[in-house]
């Protein structure tokens, strides 16, 4: 039988010890921030019923759902008529479940199923993998982690303020100093659709405008024409596409530009309030950039929308989110307003790697390796090991009777900074010989003294 060469599915990765140490560094900063702001952790299953997932992400999103074949004979209910009718007719008979596409829709399902136990406003965070049948490319994977924080059960704009503050704190702790939190409001986009003469077509407008960064204004105009927008309407968007200035100047321009649209004016007022709250908190508008063409393609946003881009790196956005007024409505619980956002950990990882911002001691695992020459050294070594671990020192004992050189090579490869050597002299005098592999210094000490030295 031929030996099969192992491989991974496209768009997925293994994470070795160094990657895991670095990922946990990011996770810990994010988790610590979420907890500081009063968010509680939640987990939901990797798979959901397809009925829960479909129709929540727009047509493009539905196509990217990974479906799970029913177990057993999954073709038993499929007729030749179904097969002729195509994949849509067949799908419902062969697949009832799918892998989750994001953490927001499962969260909405959770809130509805636990509506009587949940304390509103409910602040939850969730750090789990999600799956999308996307074309893999740099910074885009088929399996990736999301770190979500959402608040449901309040429409207070203090929630939007807190999202800005959490993003600022996380980026500050990660050492990121050159980034922008793009901020807009779906009501502003709805107002734009009204003012240019295509009321009610804001979702088509959003899907096209959302691609502005990637394909440019000329191509976006072509897409809008393809979606049935008149030339006259597209021309009216011109001043918006070219809008420059600071947040205040842009808001003032839009107050006039959108004055004939009630919903547009409301969007501008909400944005103004968020900036005012930022000032009241004692923070400022550093890193926060009102971007009137920020659209975010997902169809469930109704208010503020966010997207975070790190400048001068090759990766796209690293965080995003927004307010949704009735996400739980599709599950039969109306009127629960929510706002949330997500950190793209995989992308943040790539950014920190590109900018060389990971702490240099990231893989400090084992601090002390206990080495020995013979069987007598094993039992003395185990007692030493117990004392080290009791004192909270990450330590291990080389498991095999091997030449001391081999044991030292192991310590080198694992970047273990200290080695304890147990020879017959040390054992006889109830001491240990501690060697600092960085400096080469070696000294004879009691176990207690050795512990104090490595803990410095």
Query: Which helix (DSSP H) or strand (DSSP E) does residue 198 occupy?
Result: none
User: Residues 202-206: what's their mean pLDDT?
Assistant: 81
The pLDDT tens digits of the residues spanning 24-59 come to 999 999 999 999 999 999 999 999 999 999 888 877
CATH of residue 405's domain is 3.40.50.800
The pLDDT tens digits of the residues spanning 286-301 come to 999 999 988 876 667 8
Note down the domain range covering 187: 179-311
> Phi-psi region for residue 266, left (φ > 0), alpha (ψ -120 to 50) or beta?
alpha
What's this model's pTM, rounded to 2 decimal places?
0.86
Say if 127 falls within a structural domain.
yes
| Best CA proximity match to 318, nearest among 135, 178, 427 | 178
Cβ atoms within 10 Å of 124's Cβ, excluding its own:
20
Say if 32 falls within a structural domain.
yes
Before 121, cis peptide (omega within 30)?
yes
Query: Which helix (DSSP H) or strand (DSSP E) does residue 369 occupy?
Result: strand 368-372
CATH of residue 186's domain is 3.30.930.10
pLDDT at 371 over 90: yes
Say if 51 falls within a structural domain.
yes
Kindly list the distances between the CA atom of residue 138 and the CA atoms of 38, 63, 272, 351, in Å, as whole numbers in the listed order: 34, 21, 36, 12
Per-residue DSSP letters for 77-90? Answer: T--HHHHHH-HHHH
Domain count, the chain: 3
Tell me, yes or no, whether 162 and 34 share the same domain.
Answer: yes
Tell me, yes or no, whether 423 and 303 share the same domain.
Answer: no
Q: Are 41 and 124 in contact (CB under 8 A)?
A: yes
Query: Which helix (DSSP H) or strand (DSSP E) does residue 309 occupy?
Result: strand 304-310
| Best CA proximity match to 349, nearest among 41, 24, 34 | 24
User: Residues 65-86: what's their mean pLDDT?
Assistant: 86
**Confidence grade of residue 202 (pLDDT, cut at 50, 70, 90):** confident
Tell me, yes or no, whether 227 and 282 share the same domain.
Answer: yes
What is the token pair recorded at 315? 């990766």
| Best CA proximity match to 262, nearest among 190, 177, 162, 173 | 190
Q: To which residue do tokens 């006039």 refer? A: 256
* Exposure letters 174-204 (e unless 16+ CB within 10 A, then b): bebeebebbbbbbbbbbbbbbbbebeebbbb
Tell me, yes or no, whether 22 and 110 share the same domain.
Answer: yes
pLDDT at 201 over 80: yes
pLDDT of residue 299: 67
Say if 2 falls within a structural domain.
no
Tell me, yes or no, whether 112 and 22 share the same domain.
Answer: yes
Can you count the helices (H) and strands (E) in the chain?
Answer: 19, 16
**Confidence grade of residue 122 (pLDDT, cut at 50, 70, 90):** very high
How far apart, in whole angstroms, are the C-alpha atoms of residue 266 and residue 122?
25
Burial of 81 (0-12, 13-18, 19+ CB in 10 A): exposed
Say if 379 falls within a structural domain.
yes
What 3-state DSSP class applies to 263? helix
Per-residue DSSP letters for 52-74? Answer: HHTTSSHHHHHHTPPEEPPSS-T
Tell me, yes or no, whether 297 and 257 share the same domain.
Answer: yes
pLDDT of residue 284: 93
What is the token pair recorded at 377? 């050294």
> Phi-psi region for residue 331, left (φ > 0), alpha (ψ -120 to 50) or beta?
alpha
Tell me, yes or no, whether 156 and 211 share the same domain.
Answer: no
Tell me, yes or no, whether 157 and 236 share the same domain.
Answer: no
Measured in degrees and rounded to the nearest 5, phi and psi for residue 324 equal -130, 125
End-to-end C-alpha distance for the chain, whole angstroms: 56
pLDDT at 104 over 90: no
Say if 117 falls within a structural domain.
yes
DSSP 135: P
Alpha helices, DSSP H, located in 391-439: 404-413, 424-428
How far apart, in whole angstroms, are the C-alpha atoms of residue 28 and residue 125?
13
How far apart, in whole angstroms, are the C-alpha atoms of residue 406 and residue 365?
19
User: Residues 276-283: what's their mean pLDDT?
Assistant: 97
Measured in degrees and rounded to the nearest 5, phi and psi for residue 131 equal -130, 135
**Confidence grade of residue 322 (pLDDT, cut at 50, 70, 90):** very high
Q: Are 27 and 345 in contact (CB under 8 A)?
A: yes
Say if 327 falls within a structural domain.
yes
The pLDDT tens digits of the residues spanning 376-400 come to 999 999 999 999 999 999 999 999 9
* For the chain, percent of residues with pLDDT exceeding 90: 70
Q: Are 278 and 171 in contact (CB under 8 A)?
A: no
Tell me, yes or no, whether 292 and 386 share the same domain.
Answer: no
Mean pLDDT of the chain: 92
Q: Are 142 and 9 in contact (CB under 8 A)?
A: yes
pLDDT at 140 over 90: no
Tell me, yes or no, whether 265 and 337 share the same domain.
Answer: no
User: Residues 144-156: what's their mean pLDDT?
Assistant: 93
Tell me, yes or no, whether 200 and 228 share the same domain.
Answer: yes
Say if 232 falls within a structural domain.
yes
User: Residues 431-444: what's their mean pLDDT?
Assistant: 96
What 3-state DSSP class applies to 364? coil
Which residues does 340 contact at the CB level (< 8 Å), separation at least 6?
Answer: 104, 107, 148, 149, 150, 151, 163, 321, 322, 324
| Best CA proximity match to 356, nearest among 14, 22, 27 | 22
What 3-state DSSP class applies to 417? coil
Cβ atoms within 10 Å of 260's Cβ, excluding its own:
11
How far apart, in whole angstroms, are the C-alpha atoms of residue 148 and residue 345?
10
Tell me, yes or no, whether 274 and 223 share the same domain.
Answer: yes
Measured in degrees and rounded to the nearest 5, phi and psi for residue 49 equal -65, 140
């Amino acid at each position: 039988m031929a030996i099969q060469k192992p491989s991974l599915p496209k768009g997925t990765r293994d994470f070795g010890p160094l990657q895991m140490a670095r990922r946990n560094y990011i996770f810990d900063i994010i988790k610590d921030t979420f907890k500081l702001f009063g968010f509680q952790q939640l987990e939901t299953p990797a798979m959901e019923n397809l009925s829960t997932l479909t129709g929540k992400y727009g047509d493009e999103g539905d196509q990217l759902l990974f479906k799970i074949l029913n177990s057993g004979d999954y073709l038993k209910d499929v007729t030749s008529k179904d097969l002729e009718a195509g994949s849509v007719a067949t799908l419902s008979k062969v697949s009832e479940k799918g892998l989750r596409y994001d953490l927001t829709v499962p969260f909405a399902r959770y809130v509805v199923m636990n509506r009587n136990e949940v304390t509103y406003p409910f602040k939850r965070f969730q750090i789990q993998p999600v799956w999308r049948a996307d074309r893999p490319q740099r910074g885009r994977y088929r399996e990736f982690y999301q770190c979500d924080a959402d608040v449901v059960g309040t429409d207070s704009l203090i929630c939007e303020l807190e999202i800005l503050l959490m993003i600022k704190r996380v980026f500050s702790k990660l050492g990121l100093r050159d980034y922008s939190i793009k901020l807009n409001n779906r009501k502003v986009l709805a107002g734009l659709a009204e003012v240019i003469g295509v009321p009610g077509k804001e979702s088509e407008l959003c899907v096209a405008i959302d691609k502005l960064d990637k394909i440019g204004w000329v191509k976006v105009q072509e897409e809008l024409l393809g979606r049935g927008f008149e030339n006259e309407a597209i021309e009216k968007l011109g001043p918006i596409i070219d809008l420059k200035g600071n947040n205040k100047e842009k808001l003032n321009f839009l107050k006039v530009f959108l004055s004939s649209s009630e919903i547009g004016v409301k969007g501008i007022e909400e944005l103004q309030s968020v900036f005012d709250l930022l000032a009241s908190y004692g923070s400022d508008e550093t890193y926060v950039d009102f971007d009137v063409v920020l659209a975010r393609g997902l169809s469930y946003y109704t208010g503020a929308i966010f997207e975070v881009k790190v400048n001068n790196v090759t990766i796209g956005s690293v965080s995003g989110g927004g307010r949704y007024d009735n996400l739980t409505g599709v599950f039969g619980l109306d009127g629960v307003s929510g706002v949330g956002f997500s950190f793209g950990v995989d992308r943040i990882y790539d950014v920190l790697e590109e900018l060389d911002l990971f702490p240099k001691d990231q893989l400090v695992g084992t601090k002390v390796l206990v080495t020995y020459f013979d069987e007598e050294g094993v039992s003395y070594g185990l007692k030493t090991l117990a004392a080290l671990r009791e004192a909270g020192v990450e330590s291990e004992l080389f498991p095999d009777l091997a030449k001391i050189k081999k044991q030292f090579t192991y310590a080198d490869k694992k970047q273990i900074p200290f080695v304890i050597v147990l020879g017959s002299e040390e054992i006889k005098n109830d001491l240990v010989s501690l060697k600092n592999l960085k400096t080469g210094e070696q000294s004879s000490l009691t176990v207690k003294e050795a512990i104090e030295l490595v803990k410095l």
